[in-house]
Amino acid sequence: MVLLDRLRDTVQQAREGGQTVGKMGGLKLEMTKAQAKIGELFADIGIQAYKLYKKQELSHEGLNELFAQIDELTKQVDRSKADLDEIMMKIDVQNQDNAQSRLADIGARRNAEEEEPK
């Protein structure tokens, strides 16, 4: 649950703004690593749960419930990652708009300088 809380905080920080594209890229990398860790944990938990099931220390219903909870956590990570991707796309579009605006300003200044009498 700590990992999930950290992912939620990451997405919330990005939503609140003030993040640079580089910082967002770092956050995306962090989320990708976290998602990979969840995959590894899922596999480890599956192995342990199967061993308990074989020893009859865990019922079939308990095993199904465990996997359902793990699946829900994985879906939440995927949603958080999708949210972060959307935020990064908006930042990229905003940066492109800013760059185009700056280029237009530079072009206008050059035209104004060329038109000035010498």
Break the chain into its structural domains and give their ranges.
21-115
The confidence score (pLDDT) of residue 71 equals 81
The confidence score (pLDDT) of residue 30 equals 74
Helices and strands, counts by H and E, the chain: 3, 0
The confidence score (pLDDT) of residue 15 equals 60
95 contacts 21 by C-beta, under 8 angstroms: yes
The confidence score (pLDDT) of residue 13 equals 66
The confidence score (pLDDT) of residue 118 equals 57
Which residues of the chain carry a pLDDT beneath 70?
Answer: 1-25, 116-118
The confidence score (pLDDT) of residue 1 equals 56
The confidence score (pLDDT) of residue 66 equals 78
